[in-house]
Amino acid sequence: MLEIRNLHARVAGREILKGLDLTINTGEVHAIMGPNGSGKSTLAQVLSGRDLYQVTEGTVTFDGKDLLEMSPEDRAREGVFMAFQYPVEIPGVSNLYFLKAALNTIRKNRDLPELDAMDFLALVKERMKLMDMDQAMLNRAVNAGFSGGEKKRNEIFQMAVLEPKLAILDETDSGLDIDALKIVANGVNALRSPERSMIVVTHYQRLLNYIVPDFVHVLSEGRIVKSGGKELALELEESGYVGYETETANAR
């Protein structure tokens, strides 16, 4: 489903990804772990099409198409979804209005009829239960005044409504207490399916107790330096990132 080959990317003139290779098949959940500055979030941002990041080399193929050629909206329409590490607050745009516009554009792209207000509301209410969210938030502005936990829940809720083929969770666990973490993880688990792949980017093993990955990759210095099964995450928990960040430390 997703083929990343020799990916190099820079931000603000600095090379962050230095030849990253990764293959993700349909239905697989891959965890990307690594110390701060290893390029985890850059990978997530590059895949979602943030223009602050420049790809200088390499290819990313999604369902046989060149992902890097696509605008962020086209990637979303093709089924890529990123849960933001720092979801953006958008005062004046209600969650309901925003999500309906998003879903209907994506449905249109999939040759599905647009949902009317009634059907949309029914869908949204059903998916809200999954995330244990209060319906009152639908009429509130997108993320405006939300707590950190509410924002992360809202990300997963959007994912539940938009039903992507590939979900990228960028440090979804950061800033969550254990109760919020469980709610978010339960939501993510409910969305696991043989048709949906996920990339879970995290610094801590903690999240992976709740979202158990099929594969774990360690990112260091802009490359994947080790890959394994879920047990690799536990290993990292034991050792920390010792041995993976020496070069970074020296570089400083």
Partner 1 sequence: MPVEEISQQLAPYLEAFDRVPKTPLHQAAMERFLELGFPTSREEDWKFTNLAPLTRMSFEPAEPGDAKVAAKILSALPPGPRIVFLNGRRLTPAEPNRSLETRLDFRKRPFVALNTAFLSDLATVHVKGILAEPVHVIYISLPGGRPRMAHPRNLFVFESGAQGSVIETYVGENVYFNNAVTEIIAGEGAVVEHVKLQRESLDAFHISTIHIEQGRGSVVTSRSFALGGALARTEINAVLDEGSECTLNGLYAVDGHRHVDTRTVIDHAKPHATSHELYKGILNDRSSAVFNGKIIVRKDAQKTDAKQTNKNLVLSEDATINTKPQLEIFADDVRCTHGATVGQLDSDSIFYLRSRGIGEQAARAMLIEAFTREIADGIKSQAFRDYVESLL
Q: Please report, as a single letter, which amino acid is at residue 63.
A: D
As measured in angstroms, the least distance from the Cβ of 138 to partner 1 is 15
As measured in angstroms, the least distance from the Cβ of 41 to partner 1 is 14
Query: CA 241, 245, 248: angle at the middle one, nearest 5?
Result: 160
Structure tokens at 121: 């509301």
Q: For residues 142 and 198, which CB has a smaller minimum distance to partner 1 in the complex?
A: 142
Q: For residues 93 and 225, which CB has a smaller minimum distance to partner 1 in the complex?
A: 93
Q: Which stretches within 68-199 are classed as H helix?
A: 72-78, 95-109, 117-130, 148-162, 178-190
DSSP at 88: P
Q: For residues 101 and 242, which CB has a smaller minimum distance to partner 1 in the complex?
A: 101
Q: Which residues bind partner 1 (CB under 8 A)?
A: 48-51, 71-73, 75-77, 81-82, 84, 87-88, 90-93, 97-99, 101-103, 105-106, 109, 141-142, 158, 162
194/147 Cα distance (integer angstroms): 32
Strand, coil or helix: 13: coil
Structure tokens at 160: 């539940």
Q: For residues 169 and 232, which CB has a smaller minimum distance to partner 1 in the complex?
A: 169
Q: For residues 97 and 204, which CB has a smaller minimum distance to partner 1 in the complex?
A: 97
Measured CA distances, 12 to 51, 52, 55 (Å): 11, 8, 12
As measured in angstroms, the least distance from the Cβ of 223 to partner 1 is 25
As measured in angstroms, the least distance from the Cβ of 163 to partner 1 is 12
Tokens 């800033």 belong to residue: 175
As measured in angstroms, the least distance from the Cβ of 99 to partner 1 is 8
